[in-house]
Structure 1
Amino acid sequence: HSSHPQQKIAMQQMKNGGGMISFILKGGRDAAIRVAEGTRIFTLAESLGGVESLIEVPAAMTHLSVAGSQLDVDPGLVRLSVGIENKDDLIEDIRQALDGA
């Protein structure tokens, strides 16, 4: 977003941004898991690379073993790797998963 303090650097390094998105849910880990399980297009995965859209809840997956340490992540963190599917379908998939959580 243009209000981000490092937006200018990002635009110099990347032509149009990337396909990785993360957000934090107020409901914590349980809400993040419900969202991940509620998606229909995004696939739950630990490795976020490929042409398909993937979703991860780091606090319950990749960062579970470092909980309580300096490497810990917010329990409500959700990471998306956006693939080549139709953007409107992906937006609707996340919307319905959030509504269901």
Structure 2
Amino acid sequence: MNSELAAQQWIHKALEFYINEEIEQSIAAITLSVNIHKSHLTFALREFMIDRQCRAILDLLAEKQVLEAKNRLYTARMLLPYSKLLQQLNAFADYLLVKPG
């Protein structure tokens, strides 16, 4: 089996997990796919998942569920550890954790 085919199978699994709302498994599958074979599809799916996770994290922060947002951030950073957006969200969540009141 070549790397492109293996990556496509992991993309398929990632989409199945996403549809079933198994976000952590979906992120792990996307990460594996990117590591196996870098393609426009794998990068597009990774960017899509980062976008969706950022929206979910912002919703959690708006609802003052900061610890849940931090957990979601921890998982999302598996997709792209040095994402500026994810780093900024993490810093903001940290600020909210220590902010008095």
Q: TM-score, normalised by structure 1?
A: 0.27
**Between Structure 1 and Structure 2, which shows a larger proportion of helix residues?**
2
Q: TM-score, normalised by structure 2?
A: 0.27
